Amino acid sequence: MGFVKSFEEIMANTKATADFYDAEMIMVFWETKPEIIAKLLPPPLKPADAPIAMAFVADYPATNFDAIYKESALFIRAEFDGEEGNYCLAMPVTHDMAMAGGREIFGFPKKMANIHFQKEGKKINGWTERRGTRFMEINATLTGQPNDPSALTLLADETGEDGVIKGVSYNFKHFPGPETGTLDYDPRLVKQDTILKPKVMEIGEAEIILKHSDYDPWTEVEVVKMLGGIYMVGDNSMQPGKVVAETGFMEFAPFAFLKWDMV
């Protein structure tokens, strides 16, 4: 295949969904402060009923888009048009094409990073570092019980009767214009669903350790109360996204730098 693709090559490489096979993940949930959520959400997103944050570290050993990589992420609960979901504040990855695809198609704020994921028995450790700083680390012990029972309610709310979990993500798709200080178009709010089909799912007690970084300010999402951790192995499928709203350039400008290192 060369620089210019034939129609047949394009069609052969067009995927309806982005699929992950035997994806291994540790997700942790905590309560933060309502005022933190309100500060970090761009309009027209609104705070959800509870000030919940979630982070994960994942290992993707096989995909349908020729990328094997690790990923971590930071989300806060948000609501748009009556539907709750998760607004992504950061999504470090270890593969350049995974970074490009997530940023350019859906607007995920991806950056390249070093990511570690290890499970030994009932103990799990994962961390992410960039520019010499290990700014987040997750430790979990799969005891069968979370730190707080409300973690089970969060999981139940997103799990169907067939055991399938639907995660709703909200991102803003925007690109800097070639002229300094402009965007190519008004920022577009993208809603995107991911379907998780767990083969293994275990509950546990967890902690997240956040360290200051000028480039990855995860410490802003303060931990008020840890809720717990969920370990999963299964097949995940990212569904096509949809633009559900637009917002103005000046209104969005303070929130427009999640994808960039700026100090």
The full set of domains in the chain, from first to last, is: 17-162+200-235 (2.40.400.10)
pLDDT score at 181: 78
Please report the pLDDT score of residue 263 as a whole number. Answer: 66
Q: What is the mean pLDDT of each run of 10 residues along the chain (263 residues)?
A: 89 91 97 98 97 98 96 98 97 97 96 98 98 98 93 77 90 90 91 97 97 97 97 97 95 94 80
Residue 56 amino acid letter: F
Among positive and negative, which fits the CA dihedral 46, 172, 257, 261? Answer: positive
